[in-house]
Structure 1
Amino acid sequence: MAAVDVEDESILASIFRQSFPESWRERPDFASYLLELSSSGVDKLVREPERLAEERAHILQQTRQLAFANYKTFIRTAECTEDIYRRFGQVQSSLARLLDKLPAFQQSCRSFVQKAEEIACSRRKNSLTLNRHTEILEVLEIPQLMDTCVRNGYYEEALELATYVRRLEKKHSSIPVIQSIVLEVRQSAQLMLEQLVQQLRTGLQLPACLRVLGYLRRMDIFTEAELRVKFLQARDAWLRSIQSSIPEDDPYFHITKTIEMCRVHLFDIITEYRALFSDEDPLLVPCGDQALSEAAIFHGWVLQKVAHFLQILEQDLQKGVGSRLDSLLGQCMYFGLSFSRVGADFRGQLVPIFQRVALTTFRRAVQEAVDKFQEEMNCYTLILAPAVLGNSSVAPVSVPSSHPGTLQPPMALLDFSPLACFLNGVLTAFNDLRLCCPVAVAQDVTSALEEALSQVTKIILAFHQAEEAAFSVKEQELFVQFCTAFLEDLLPYLNRCLQLLFPPSQIAQILGIPATQLQQYGNLGYLDLTVVQESLVSILPRKEMFFLLHGSAVGPELTCPNATEPPAALPRLNEKGEAACWQAQGWPARIIQHEMDHLHGLLYVDKMDSKTFVNINWMEVND
């Protein structure tokens, strides 16, 4: 564009009196036209307006012609222009809206790029997952495989899977899938633990117990002490289930089955424990209290089981097992002997139990005999003739007739039914006691029998006191015979029975003393009849007895009342009241002494061994 100088400005001011548009200044044709005007002459400048008018008119004419000739084009052009203007307006508004939405679009593009990257990353992961699908599937199937192995009893494979999962947890503990797999595998391991412990509650043999305990050790859940306790608890539960299945209706059947099952199964459990745990391993040196406590676990459990068995035994024995106490004692002793092989011999604890039961049973039977005697005496009358015990029978001591110690009850007691019934009850108690007759209860049995005889004596005295005023001469005679049979027949027979049950030689051998010194230790298998005799002597008439030897009558007081004075120096009276003294030796002396012993309630078997007939009291007699 040509620059308009000051001269041209003045020309412009003179030509255009009014201001012209400023936009003309920028037009190049306007500058060139001014340059042409400035170079023209005056004539040309004078003619210039006309030329311009003509040119203008010519242009107008051409324009009119062009408009008339191309009016459609102009109309179309106008329409197009209008349409273009309108569209440019729409474009402008759309551009404005576009500009407004460009920030959001930019943000969306960024989000799209980010998501695209995530999708690409995910796609790469999926591709990697697809490439390693087999390995991943194996890992994902571990919980199901673990559960299948546990439920089907494949514990070896289950332990291998659990070990593999523990390694995975250490390497990839932050991965949620691994965490869920670990959790499910732990649940299956807990189920496996319960199954293994449940197997210990069944009748497993030693090889199976070894396998189960090996699995438990490999699971590494329990310490050694806890594993011992868990093993003993499980086996104890199995043993208790077996014991609870034994019927308790019959005490004898229950205790025999309990003995058998405890002897077999408890011994098996102890054997299994010693095979599984090394309490007595000489290669292992105990260090600290832990080893001692582990050994004490088993010791305490064995003591508990033995105490529980003894409790069951005592309960069943108290319920009553009839006359089979000796059989139970033999079984229990064999049970205790078998346990001596494992260092748990408890036979020493059986003796007090059987002693208490035997003594209790004997006392109960004797008391029943006393009660029966009381009932018989309540309805007994001396008017009845002797030998009225119709269908009653006196039971002898159950010893074979060929045995040298066989005792037959006095037949004279059949004339007095209360005495016969009482003796029958006592003999029943003796027969039951004979089957299991420990020597240690000799004094207690003797005391119980003396107490029973004391009660019988009181009953007899009460009967005499109640009926004495109404006694006739015949009844008084019968009552004297009743008391005589009680003192001279019943009591000596009971003494012989006691010495048959508790031989003095055996008691003396156990005590380590001569048999002649047994009386210094109290009534050991020998009844003290003094109290009974003194109680009844007041109601019996005084009786004189004489023995005729070689034509001479000798009174009953041949024994020396004073040990310092010989018997021959003391005068005695015969049946005529005359002084008589006879010193005998040899067999006459033995006969006299034998008859005098009868007056004191003694028989020859009381001074001799019932099996060998050897006198065991010579030292006492000589002293």
Structure 2
Amino acid sequence: MEQTLQVVASPLADVAPLVDVLTEASTSALLSTPSSKGYLSHLTTLPLGELNQEPIALQTQSHHLTSSLTSFTHTSYPTFISLHKTTTSFASSIDALTSSLNGLLTISLPTLEDSTGIWKDRTEAVLRERGKARVVLEQHEKIRDLLDIPVLIDTCVRNGYFGEALSLANHVTSLVHRADGTKDKPPPAILTSVLAEVQHSITQMHLSLLATLYEPNRKLPALWKAVNFLRKMDAFSGEPTSSSLASLLRPRSTSLSARTDASSRTRPPNPSSEEQLALAFLIGREVCLKSTLEATGRDIQRLVNQVSSGQGDSDVDKANDAGKAQSKGKTKGKVKELEERDKEDLARYLKKYIDAWREGVYDVVTQYATIFLERSPTHSDAATSTDNDDALLSRLHTLLRTYSTRALSTHLLTILKPSLPLLTLPHLPSLLTQLNYCSTAFSRLGLDFRCILTSGGGLFSTSILAIVKRDLETATEKWEVRVEKAHGAAIKSSARITSASSSRKAVSPAEMPSKWLVTSSSVDSPPLPPSKRASGTAGPAHIPPQLLASYPPLAQLTNAVLGVLNGLRLVVPRSNDTFDGTSKSEDASLSAEGVCSLLKMLDDIILDHGSSKLLTYLQFVVKSLQAEEPEAGSERKRLREREERIVVAVGRAFFEVFAAFVRRALVEGVYGYELERVEKGGWKVRGGPSEEWIERVWLENRKTFEKLIKDMYGEEEEEEEDEDEEDEEDEDDEDDESE
């Protein structure tokens, strides 16, 4: 049996298993279950006999199971009924649970999640506000102190506690830098607000300190304090304190800062903050100086403008009618003279103005020197500070010199130049003394301006020449008016003479010389100078010859000239040295230049113009006397001879006595030089030949007068003149021997 099985098994070794055959042939799903596959595999292992008995065994087991199940069902049907109900109830419960879970996942949970998010958002804002409120409550004292800082700074600025104000501002700046942890985040809002208020307060402090520099009557301590705090604020640098505070309020931009740095590297260097601060100081004190000088300067300018307006009016009046004169402020040439009261007021205003200018400028210069030139060097490295400090100090000195020169030229010289020529000579000595004292005081500060006052062509030299010229023109004008009055009626009478009148009636002057040129006691025998040469040189240079008293018009002209010279004596330096034009002394040079200019002015105005008018009158008188009829009686002849004697006496008194005396009075009486040496050495001072310098019109008029006398008296006069010349030569020889 075993051999048969072995024989049978051998050919079926390569046949597919029964399970696979049945599975492929059947479409039932029962054969695919694991239990079916296991049972089919078991069948293949059974022998054929057992395999044939297998259906019977299966059927028997099926009947047995059916009967057992029927019995069990019969006996346990309540259990099955209960199990069925329970199973049905459990299935429905599972379905309800499934639907509940589906609703929870799809509806309830998303709604809960949304509600939770909304609640979180609402509670976060509340919690944040509560957190802020808690922080504010915890930091209440510090926040209150921070908010009080701008008020404290304002109070400190108003009360002058500038150091405390700067300390508070620096404290706020440090708080901002501490709170500003990240560079891309702006400072907190409260710090931004406080910074804005602090910046405004510091700006007000800056303006208050600058306003201190513009306040008049501020002394050195207050100005020192203001300048020092402006230095601490670095108010005139590229980034002052207020700007640095403002920079914290602006958003940061890397590209902008880079462009700013690049532009700052290419920009030319600006003046240092110390120079700008010094310039601001000088500007502020300059405004105060102007306000101090304004009132007095306005009064001076008012009087000067009167002269200017009068000059314009005089030009119009001259164009309309050259013969009319103003009743008030009479014009002399191109200058209108002030009244005596106005001159006194002008001199008083000038003294007051000079004192105010001296005090104001001296205060500014000393304050500037103390604040900017005498302070300690700037705080910097020792290796580089020396050169920088020296350069800065040099520029500050230059700024002071520039201001001093400007203050002198702008405030003082511009007032003195138009004002001094309007005064009289007695007013000048006190002003010159006052200005010399002022210059001496300023010389300690390096501002000695005496050379501008008294040197050749200086302020007072020019003013003295202008005043002397004006006074001499006034005296000459009065003389000419008097001569024209005696001569002028003849011009009118000549117009009334018709060509039809064939009579030889002469045209006579309005006044003959005997009526006005000599005193009544000297009409018949007018006094004559003893000699042509010694008449004007005898006696002291400051005492006029007694002979001139016999000629009232000449005496008046002499008194007018002496009045000018007496005033001149007070303002010019008198020299005891000999005049040779080679002295190196400033006063001697000034005297030499002054005496030469004034002598030329005296010759031009008094002698040239005065002698021309007098010579014209005398020529007309002689012509009228010679034109009289020769058949006139003895009385008429006696009167004519008397007039001729007066003509000769007046002419000789003018040319020989008056001219020589006034020239000696100027050169010897005022300056102390010898007239002869001045005439010989004047060319060394003036730079020209002496012959050209001493040539004058009045000398030509003198020669014309001598020729007139010769024509009038003929040979007799020539013989007398020859005798006089011989006497003069003898006197000269005697003088030479005595010398």
**Fold shared, TM-score > 0.5 on shorter chain:** yes
Show the counterpart of 1:29. none
CA distance in 2 between partners of 1:463 and 1:431 (Å): 30
Contact map agreement 1:495 1:527 (CA 8 A) in 2: no
Cα distance, 1:287 vs structure 2: 6.9
How far apart, CA to CA, are the structure 2 residues paired with 1:454 and 1:468?
21
Structure 2 partner of 1:364? 470
SS in 1 for 2:373: coil
Q: Among 203, 206, 209, which residue is 1:193 paired with?
A: 206
Match of 1:377 among 458, 464, 483: 483
C-alpha deviation, 1:494, in angstroms: 0.4
Q: What corresponds to 1:263 in structure 2?
A: 358
What's 2:156 paired with? 149
User: Is 1:217 aligned with 2:258?
Assistant: no
| Contact 1:251–1:317, Cα closer than 8 Å, also in 2 | no
* Residue 166 to residue 484, structure 1, CA distance change in 2 (3 Å): same
**Residues 519 and 353 (structure 1), Cα distance of their counterparts in 2 relative to 1, 3 Å cut:** closer
Equivalent residue, structure 2, for 1:538: 707
Aligned: 1:477 with 2:583: no
1:523 shift after superposition: 9.3
Work out the CA distance in 2 between the residues paired with 1:559 and 1:238.
70
Structure 2 residue identity aligned to 1:233: I
- Separation in 2 of the partners of 1:244 and 1:388? 58
Task: Report the count of equivalent residues.
Answer: 452
How far off its partner does 1:592 sit?
6.7
User: What TM-score do you get using the length of structure 2 for normalisation?
Assistant: 0.55
CA change 1:188–1:369 in 2 (3 A) is same
For 1:286 and 1:415, how far apart are their aligned partners in 2?
81
2:407 pairs, out of 305, 323, 343, with: 305
Residue pairs, 1:337-486, within 5 angstroms:
337-351=440-454, 352-380=458-486, 381-382=511-512, 383-384=514-515, 386-387=518-519, 407-438=542-573, 439=591, 440-452=593-605, 453-471=607-625, 472-486=640-654
1:409 partner SS:
coil
Structure 2 gap segments, 5+ residues each: 1-69, 75-102, 181-185, 237-272, 301-344, 378-384, 487-510, 522-538, 574-590, 626-639, 685-689
Q: 1:546 to 1:465 in 2, by over 3 A?
A: closer
Decide which structure has greater helix share: 2
CA distance in 2, matches of 1:388, 1:285: 88
Q: What's the offset of the Cα at 1:293? A: 3.1
Distance 1:416 1:367 in 2: 21
Q: What's 1:227 paired with?
A: 277
User: Identity over aligned residues, as a percent?
Assistant: 24
Offset of residue 450 of structure 1: 0.8
User: Residue 219 of structure 1: CA displacement?
Assistant: 1.2
Give, in whole Å, the separation in 2 of the partners of 1:179 and 1:388.
105
Q: Which residue of 2 aligns with 1:518?
A: 681
Distance 1:527 1:446, change over 3 A: farther
Q: Distance in 1 between matches of 2:165 and 2:692?
A: 71
Which residue in 1 is equivalent to 2:313? Answer: none
The equivalent residue for 1:495 is 663
* Cα distance in structure 1, aligned partners of 2:661 and 2:553: 16
Q: Is the 8 A contact 2:169 2:198 kept in 1?
A: yes
| Secondary structure of residue in 2 paired with 1:342 | coil
Write the distance in 2 (CA, Å) between the matches of 1:555 and 1:317. 48
CA distance in 1, matches of 2:680, 2:548: 33
Deviations 1:18-66 (A, max 9, x none): xxxxxxxxxxxxxxxxx9xx99xxxxxxxxxxxxxxxxxxxxxxxxxxx
Alpha-carbon distance in 1 for matches of 2:459, 2:196: 56
- Which residue does 2:287 correspond to in 1? 237
Contact 2:372 2:396 in 1 (8 A): no
Q: Does 1:254 align with 2:349?
A: yes
Match of 1:315 among 403, 409, 418: 418
- Verify the 8 A CA contact 1:369 1:422 in the aligned structure 2: yes
Which deviates more from structure 2 when the two are superposed, residues 277-286 or residues 238-247? Answer: 277-286
Distance 1:115 1:545 in 2: 144
Moved more, 148-157 or 448-457: 148-157
Tell me the distance in 2 between the aligned counterparts of 1:234 and 1:500: 51
Query: 1:188 offset after TM fit, Å?
Result: 1.7
2:196 is matched with which residue?
183
CA positional deviation for 1:304: 0.8
| Structure 1 residue 444, shift from structure 2 partner | 1.0
Displacement of 1:526: 8.6
Q: CA deviation at 1:545?
A: 8.2
Do the aligned residues in 1 keep the contact of 2:615 with 2:705 (CA within 8 Å)? yes
Q: 1:169 to 1:254 in 2, by over 3 A?
A: farther
The equivalent of 2:9 in structure 1 is none
Counterpart for residue 556 of structure 1: 725
Contact 1:504 1:515 in 2 (8 A): yes
Alpha-carbon separation, structure 2, partners of 1:262 and 1:306? 9
Distance 1:558 1:476, change over 3 A: closer
Cα distance 1:359–1:199, how it changes in 2: closer, same or farther (>3 A)? same
Task: Summarize the alignment of residues 528-607 of structure 1 with structure 2, pairs less than 5 Å apart.
Answer: 530-541=699-710, 543=717, 556-557=725-726, 593=734
Structure 1 stretches lacking a partner, 5+ long: 1-34, 40-95, 390-403, 509-513, 548-552, 561-588, 595-617
- What is residue 125 of structure 1 aligned with on the other side? 132
- Cα RMSD after superposing both structures: 3.8
| Equivalent residue number for residue 93 of structure 2 | none
Q: Conserved in 2, the CA contact under 8 Å of 1:359 and 1:445?
A: yes
**CA contact under 8 A between 2:465 and 2:598: conserved in structure 1?**
yes
